Amino acid sequence: MAELALTRHEIETHQQTIALIAQDLNSLPEKTIAVRERWKEKRSVSRPEVLDQFAPATVALLRNDMASLMQWVNILGPADAYEFDLLITRMQTELLRCSGGFADLKDRFLGWVSELIPHLNPVRERAETLKMVKNTGFWENVTAGQLEEVRLELRGIMHHRQSKQIDPLPPKLIDISDGDIQFAHRKTNIREIDASVYRKQVEEALSGLFNSNSTLRKIRAGEAVSETDLNALTSLVLTQHPGVDLTILREFYDTAAPLDYILRTIIGMDPEAVKQRFEQFARHHPKLSANQLLFMRLLQNHIAKYGSIEIDRLYEPPFTNVVSEGVDGVFTDEAQIEELFVILETFQPKGVQPTA
């Protein structure tokens, strides 16, 4: 909405939205690991002068890095208020677009307002605002700014809406005679589902060992580990989580990738260790453009999260959000591109080249 308001020269609405974005950024819990790994970017983009300028690089950083971190914001409690915020934001967006979708959203808004319980004191205190929004004259020349005022006034009472009573279906009872029962684990026939579920179990089992286990610290730093170290780690995980065997991960990979590389694709790499691999490139090319620096930052963030990157990914979002041609559009010098590819090879296990 901030982008749309800026293109429509609705400066007041743009500034209001920027203020809301700043509040969202400030609500990120910096003790969370994912947020802590990007605290520099978060602190940088949260500065008022950066948000006010709203440069394309800032927009890309908000959309590609900060948006994914919003999953860590604690929204327990006022769920109705957040749902109302989303409805008003969508209404403001459609209003700025002069879209016919605004009428549908307005009907939903009025439906929610009609569900408020009128005899409750918090609802009665907003009687003037409720009377105003029910008047058809209010909607004839309504503005995004007026909708923002309505949002602030009514979001706190949205949990006083009447709940729709739906008679639940009676529980289904099945009478099964007792007999011999056998239990067995059965894998799904879809390889991707098994892999996704098991990777999640491994990630949860390893998350509590990041700071205490030296083998995991080496893997996150991109350092070599011995077979003895990996065997000790596998035994430790099996002791604490009997259902999680790290060696099973190899069954989900078609290539003979070493176990430490597979684990790095799950737990990621230390951002500082990734940054060090690119420092020499930055020193050799001190006059990199803003787009090139942004591309490098996106590249480092991806590797920090996934442990490595395939060359094909450099021609897909979010990298094409910088320049549509991907790496070839950002770096026009073939020598620089080759130098980048050499760096990417250092994140691959020995004998495995990044996919071209």
Q: What is the pLDDT of residue 355?
A: 45
Residue found by looking up tokens 């509590």 in the block: 208
**pLDDT for res 315:** 87
**pLDDT band at residue 110, thresholds of 50, 70 and 90?**
very high
DSSP character string of 15-78: HHHHHHHHHHHHTS-TTSHHHHTTHHHHHHHTSHHHHHH--HHHHHHIIIIIHHHGGGS---S-
Question: Coil, strand or helix: which one is 147?
Answer: helix
Task: Specify the 3-state DSSP secondary structure of 319.
Answer: helix
Cα 316 to Cα 65, 146, 188, 331, distances in angstroms: 16, 39, 30, 15
pLDDT at 255 exceeding the cut of 60: no
* Cβ count within 10 A of residue 269: 24
* pLDDT confidence of residue 77: 65
Q: What is the pLDDT of residues 19-28, one digit of tens each?
A: 999 988 988 8
- 352 pLDDT band (50/70/90 cuts)? very low
Read off the pLDDT of residues 197-221 as tens digits, 9 standing for 90 and up.
Answer: 777 888 888 877 877 888 888 888 8
List Cα–Cα distances, 323 to 172, 200, 290, 295, in angstroms: 56, 33, 12, 9
Helices 127-134 + 144-154 axis angle, to 10: 140
Say whether pLDDT at 147 is over 50.
Answer: yes
Question: Cα(292)–Cα(327) distance, rounded to whole angstroms?
Answer: 9
Nearest-angstrom CA–CA distance, 354 and 30: 33
What is the per-residue pLDDT across 271-312, written as a single tens digit (0 to 9) for each? 888 899 898 898 889 899 999 999 999 999 999 888 888 888
Nearest CA to 110 out of 93, 135, 89 is that of: 135
What is the per-residue pLDDT for 190?
A: 46
Cα angle 302, 44, 93 (rounded to 5 degrees) comes to 80
